[in-house]
Structure 1
Amino acid sequence: MPQSLKRTSLTDQATEAIIELIAERNLRAGDRLPASGELATMLDVSVPVVREAVAGLAAIGLLERQQGRETTIATPDSSHLSRLFSLRVLGAEIDDEELQQFREIVEVGNARLAARNRTTETLASLEQAMGDLAGATTADELHGADVAFHAAVARAADNDLCELTLGALEPLLARLRRRVWGGWVTQGGGFTAILDAHRAVLDAVREGDEPSAAEAMSAHLAQARVGLEESIRRGDQPVDPRAGFPAH
């Protein structure tokens, strides 16, 4: 049981104590949290302090509050982590180079795990995403299919934290993808090379070849790096949304 709180910063301490209580009681999504008055007695703090702590935990998705109902345990999703990432990128002035570096670490690891842990179901999702990617005819269609493909790789990795992290990064990666594609097309790159790189990832995952899956994803992300560096060099010149695609 959490100990009574006597020091300063009571709201922060109450927040940590509630998290500790959730863990100690093994509470799961949908389980009821003790009422504010009960928590205040347990922690030897005021009800307003408890309510402030509960509000903070609800804001990060750990608790769910509804008017007139008991507060229950919730499971934070990628949207909560996404807001944190976005604020951190803004506040710390993290640039696209750093974002690209982080993407390389996460996605190469995802590909390796996907080759190890893929299932019939997750392979089917990858195949579907690959088909959608092959059918893209504009930059927007390409970006949408690319998001689906990389999300499918993360699901095939069968590691909740991998999928959560990639999902949380997606709003930031959407902007990065557009910048990368513009640079890739500007320096003479095209759709076919991008498609082939994705196929190489899929083939390695299907075969369960972990080193090849990691190598294929690394090679694909090297394409993204080329596009990013060209975009930076040439100042983000706009490109035609159908540029880089084969003529139909």
Structure 2
Amino acid sequence: MSQDVARPSLSDALTERMLELIRSGGLRAGDRLPSARELSRRFAVTTPTLREALRRLEATGAIQLRHGSGIYVGADLERVVIPNPNVRTLGGGRLLQLLDARLLIEPPLAAQAARRSEAADLDRLRSVLDDASHHLSGDDNRLHDANMAFHRAAATAAGNSVLEEVIDSLLSVHASEQREIQRIFDDRTRDYEEHRAILGAIERGDGPGAEDHMRAHLAEVKDVIEERIAEG
């Protein structure tokens, strides 16, 4: 068997051993790992093989490689759903499918958030909307970030970490398209008020209301995209 065929299995095994090192050591996000030289000695592998495993782990967010500093446990170590950072700008049909996915997932999550959100969840939702209010006539990128943070916070408040990751991934996948939606929609105040309506229903514990407001909001976004695609 050639070295090229055998090597991936060695890298796979090393990746698993690295993950076991992190978990058995009780390490958390931000904790520092041994140096690459120490890891090579510990696992009795060459530096190129170790680097391949480290690149795999970095690609999934399990570790962070900080130039001149070292190797650290990443924030996404236990993440179930991981966005693809290499995806190109999405075509119209694919983008509409992503929006359909959000329409299926986010309204029920908003209803769940209304039923089970805690004080910290509501504080987070209020905070991101307050941030958005300061950028309604200002920085496009900061407004976009605040708007997306609202949708992420609403998903977090629902209490399902897997679906929270799904929403985060979907938002990450079409971040550039969402900025374009914001530009085309060109009614920042209306967008903000729709978010306020969703938050109001969540604060009141009104599950059906939160679901209806979120669905209407996302359907409007989809209508804008469909109009844009029709115009060519």
- Pick from 200, 205, 229 the counterpart of residue 202 of structure 2: 205
Q: Report the Cα distance in structure 2 between the residues aligned to 1:205 and 1:97, rounded to whole angstroms.
A: 27
Closer/same/farther in 2, CA of residues 61 and 172 from structure 1, 3 Å limit: closer
Q: Report the Cα distance in structure 2 between the residues aligned to 1:93 and 1:12, rounded to whole angstroms.
A: 37
Q: Any conservation in 1 of the 2:89–2:174 contact (CA below 8 Å)?
A: no
Q: Report the Cα distance in structure 1 between the residues aligned to 2:193 and 2:62, rounded to whole angstroms.
A: 41
1:84-133 deviation line (CA, Å, top 9, x unaligned): 52413559998321232233344334423422332223323323444555
Give 1:3-42 correspondences, 5 Å limit: 8-9=7-8, 10-29=10-29, 30=31, 32-33=33-34, 35-40=39-44
Give unmatched runs, 5+ long, in structure 2: 1-5
Q: Report the Cα distance in structure 2 between the residues aligned to 1:12 and 1:93, rounded to whole angstroms.
A: 37
Closer/same/farther in 2, CA of residues 180 and 22 from structure 1, 3 Å limit: same
Partner of 2:121: 122
Deviates more, 1:219-228 or 1:122-131: 122-131
The higher radius of gyration belongs to 1
Q: Report the Cα distance in structure 2 between the residues aligned to 1:47 and 1:143, rounded to whole angstroms.
A: 42
Closer/same/farther in 2, CA of residues 93 and 116 from structure 1, 3 Å limit: same
1:32-73 deviation line (CA, Å, top 9, x unaligned): 456221112xxxx54542343124323433234456876443
Partner of 1:226: 223
Amino acid at match of 2:122: L
Give the TM-score of the pair, scaled to structure 2. Answer: 0.69
Q: Report the Cα distance in structure 1 between the residues aligned to 2:180 and 2:170, rounded to whole angstroms.
A: 15
How many residue pairs were aligned? 218
Q: Any conservation in 2 of the 1:63–1:71 contact (CA below 8 Å)?
A: yes
Partner of 2:56: 56
Partner of 2:151: 150
Q: Any conservation in 1 of the 2:64–2:73 contact (CA below 8 Å)?
A: yes
Q: How far did 1:74 drift?
A: 2.9
Amino acid at match of 2:153: A
Q: Any conservation in 1 of the 2:114–2:201 contact (CA below 8 Å)?
A: yes
Closer/same/farther in 2, CA of residues 36 and 207 from structure 1, 3 Å limit: same
1:144-203 deviation line (CA, Å, top 9, x unaligned): 542343243234334555555544554544433344345546xxxx56654443233112
Q: Report the Cα distance in structure 2 between the residues aligned to 1:222 and 1:163, rounded to whole angstroms.
A: 20
Q: Report the Cα distance in structure 2 between the residues aligned to 1:210 and 1:164, rounded to whole angstroms.
A: 21
Task: Give the match's secondary structure for 1:88.
Answer: coil
Give 1:50-199 correspondences, 5 Å limit: 50-65=50-65, 71-76=71-76, 84-89=83-88, 95-131=94-130, 133=132, 136-137=136-137, 140=140, 143=144, 145-170=146-171, 172-181=173-182, 184=185, 194-199=191-196
RMSD: 3.9
Partner of 2:3: none
Instruction: Give the structure, 1 or 2, with the largest relative contact order (CA under 8 Å, sep 6 or more).
Output: 2
Percentage of identical aligned residues: 30
Q: Report the Cα distance in structure 1 between the residues aligned to 2:90 and 2:229, rounded to whole angstroms.
A: 21
Deviates more, 1:126-135 or 1:55-64: 126-135
Q: Report the Cα distance in structure 2 between the residues aligned to 1:131 and 1:69, rounded to whole angstroms.
A: 36
